[in-house]
Amino acid sequence: MRVKGWALALFFFGGGLMSLLALALPTHGAPDPVGGRLLFGVTASVGLGLSLLAWARPQVLLGKRFDELLMVLGNACSLTSTLGETLLFGTQYSVMVLLWPMVLTAGFLRRRLLGWQVAFSSVAVAVLAFTNDRVLMRGEVWPLEALLTAIPVAFTGLAVAFFRSAAVQEAQELARLGRTDPLTGLSNRRVLFDEFAGVVAATLPGQRVALVMLDLDHFKQVNDRYGHQTGDEVLRCFAQTLQTHAQGGDLLVRMGGEEFVWVMAEPDTDAVVRRVEALRAAYAARPESRAVTVSAGVVHCAADVTAAQLSALLGAADAALYRAKEEGRNRTRVDAA
């Protein structure tokens, strides 16, 4: 959003500044000096005004609410500045500013506006080519001139839109990787703290939130005996088994090493324990588990639990897990929250 604000300020300030400089330049034999100065004055007022607004009150323009208006004003400014040059100086060197609203729309405004921007640019190019032909009387074929100008303008917009889409996809992928455990594909610890409140909010009436701490027993021995590659296969096998036993609203997290957290909503503790026991049995039956067993600590709390209490819940589940370990491992123990 901050980049959009800078882009708005720069584009409109550049157009306004260019128009002010044009008004200060001397002119000789202008086709229409009054009309040209009027158009440059309009461009300077709108461009500098919007750039100041984008600088002083960025929150007004940074959202999507005014995207259509910004697109229209950007096209209007680019057209009036180029027409002003034609009438005041008899040239169209500033035709390059037609790229600015195209880049602005393709790079920073709503994506669905790109088609409208291509249409606006095509019309603007045709108007400029026709004006160039009539006012300057060069006897050129203005439709061909318009086409030759419109093609690079349109393709510039398409290229910017392509790179914007690629950048957005890359950013989304990086964000996903930053929230995903690369070995198992489960969420990582950050997601647990970010989304726990959402799981609680989605709890149906009559249900309570359960947090289950799971740990693979004697996992270090697997790495020591078979190697880390086999150890990774054991972890992936457990993650896959956990995913098959989870329901739609459950949150599955690898906390690190061989420790996992399973957040679910169930009406009573017995239902939670049955699901955990089903998971442990299914995992034990898989050859890829290498006979590794699972210990679990369960804490089942009221549905009005808050995210601020998550650390305390993790501590309670960890205490229940520790008790399961002390009692011989390969079992589930419950601690009340």
Q: Is the pTM of this model over 0.85?
A: no
Q: pLDDT tier at 131 (50, 70, 90 boundaries)?
A: confident
Instruction: Starting at the earlier edge strand, list the strands of the sheet with 208-216.
Output: 251-256, 259-266, 208-216, 294-301, 332-336
Task: Judge whether 70 and 64 are in contact, CB under 8 Å.
Answer: no
Quote the tokens at residue 303: 């549905």
Q: What tokens does 331 get? A: 């079992």
* Rg, C-alpha atoms of the chain: 32
d(CA 112, CA 324): 57
Task: State the pLDDT confidence band at 336, using cuts at 50, 70 and 90.
Answer: low
Q: Which helix (H) or strand (E) holds 255?
A: strand 251-256
**Residue 294 phi/psi, 5° resolution?**
-125, 135
Report how far apart, in Å, the C-alpha atoms of 246 and of each of 183, 241, 278, 327 are: 19, 9, 11, 27
Tell me the CA distances in angstroms from 242 to 43, 185, 249, one per residue in order. 63, 11, 14
pLDDT tens readout for residues 176-209: 778 899 999 999 999 999 999 988 888 888 889 9
Q: Which of 171, 241, 244, 191 is nearest to 3 (CA)?
A: 171
- Residue 140: what pLDDT? 63
Helical H segments across the chain, by residue range: 2-24, 33-56, 58-62, 67-89, 99-108, 114-135, 142-177, 189-201, 219-226, 228-245, 269-284, 310-326
Per-residue pLDDT band for 1 (boundaries 50, 70, 90) equals: low
Question: What are the C-alpha distances in Å from 32 to residues 38, 84, 140?
Answer: 10, 9, 20
Locate 49 and state its tokens.
């005004």
Strands 259-266, 294-301: parallel, antiparallel or unpaired by DSSP?
unpaired
187: DSSP letter: B
> How confident is residue 43, by pLDDT bands cut at 50, 70 and 90?
very high
The 3-state DSSP class for residue 216 equals strand
Question: Which domains, and CATH codes, for the chain?
Answer: 2-177 (no CATH), 189-336 (3.30.70.270)
H/E segment holding residue 264: strand 259-266
pLDDT (tens digit per residue) in 54-90: 887 777 777 888 899 999 999 999 999 999 999 999 8
Residue 217 pLDDT more than 90? yes
Residue 67 near residue 109, CB atoms below 8 Å: yes
The pLDDT, as a whole number, for residue 149 is: 82
Report the distance separating Cα 57 and Cα 67, nearest Å.
16
